[in-house]
Amino acid sequence: MLKKMFTPLTISLICAVVLLNSTAQIFLKAAALSGMKHGGGFMAVLLNVWYLASLCTLGLAFLCWQKALKYLPLSFAHPFCSLTYLFIPLLSWAIFGEEVSVRYFVGVACICIGIFLTASGAVKGHG
């Protein structure tokens, strides 16, 4: 049963969702920083190219996610979303120089385990 789920297509789709979601959050941060340079108001963020990039990336991630759900049950696929919480700190550290300590990664690991359990242990209705 597990072998049936891990096809090259499903693995690629899940990877795409995780990477696109992580990138979308990075774009949001870039939009916030760029918006601050141009006045700091809401409109500066809304009309920002980084914000639009974030929305496009989220849209792409959503499409990949919907496609993945054609092949995988939700309770199986959803826990993999916790991987975005591993990628984002690494990307923020590399791109924005945000501080990440060992303690922080312990917290992230707890969050990932928590997401894994809540997502796989929750709904059976639409799964």
Which positions touch another protein (CB under 8 A)?
25-26, 28-29, 31-33, 35-36, 40, 42, 45-46, 51, 54-55, 58, 85, 88-89, 92-93, 96, 98-100, 103-104, 106-126
In the block, tokens 């975005």 appear at 84
Nearer to another protein, 8 or 125 (CB): 125
Tokens of 28: 């949001």
* Residue 26 · residue 51 · CB < 8 Å: no
Q: How many CB atoms lie within 10 A of CB 83?
A: 19
Tokens of 27: 């774009």
Sign of the Cα torsion 20, 21, 25, 31 reads positive
Minimum Å distance from CB 11 to another protein? 22
Nearer to another protein, 4 or 37 (CB): 37
Minimum Å distance from CB 120 to another protein? 7
Nearer to another protein, 7 or 33 (CB): 33
